[in-house]
Amino acid sequence: QVRLVESGGGLVQPGGSLRLSCAASGSIFRIYAMGWHRQAPGKQRELVATFTNGGSTNYADSVKGRFTASRGDAENTVALHMNSLKPEDTAVYYCNAQIDTTARGVYRDYWGQGTQVTVSS
């Protein structure tokens, strides 16, 4: 079993900052990538940022220059630093990871439960 747990969401004023964290635990052999998606009310879930085990990152155009994904301080963790937040960033943010649990080179997608980020004055 693999579990992803997010933390760090909350209410922030426009222009403010938040830091999200995600920790993966369980029967993990290797993680290829970890990242973040978000889903706003009435909209489809969309990619925010991904961070591969090799260190490369990929960002949605809407967050480039404002958000930074990086390794967390502990093993199998990833952080999302969000700056210059806008009301349109309001959404539930989900941690996602591609994990090999069997040492066979087969990676599956795992998701966290999500954490709410609200940007409002």
Low-confidence ranges of the chain (pLDDT < 50): none
CB atoms within 10 A of CB 59: 19
Quick one: pLDDT at residue 93? 97
DSSP secondary-structure letter at 89?
G
Distance between CA atoms of residues 73 and 103, nearest Å: 25
Distance between CA atoms of residues 97 and 72, nearest Å: 14
Task: Locate all alpha helices (DSSP H) within 1-121, ordered by sequence.
Answer: none
User: Would you mind telling me the total number of residues written for the chain in this entry?
Assistant: 121
Distance between CA atoms of residues 84 and 55, nearest Å: 24
Tokens matching residue 82: 């969000």
Quick one: pLDDT at residue 107? 93
Instruction: Give a three-class secondary structure readout of 66-77.
Output: CEEEEECCCCCE
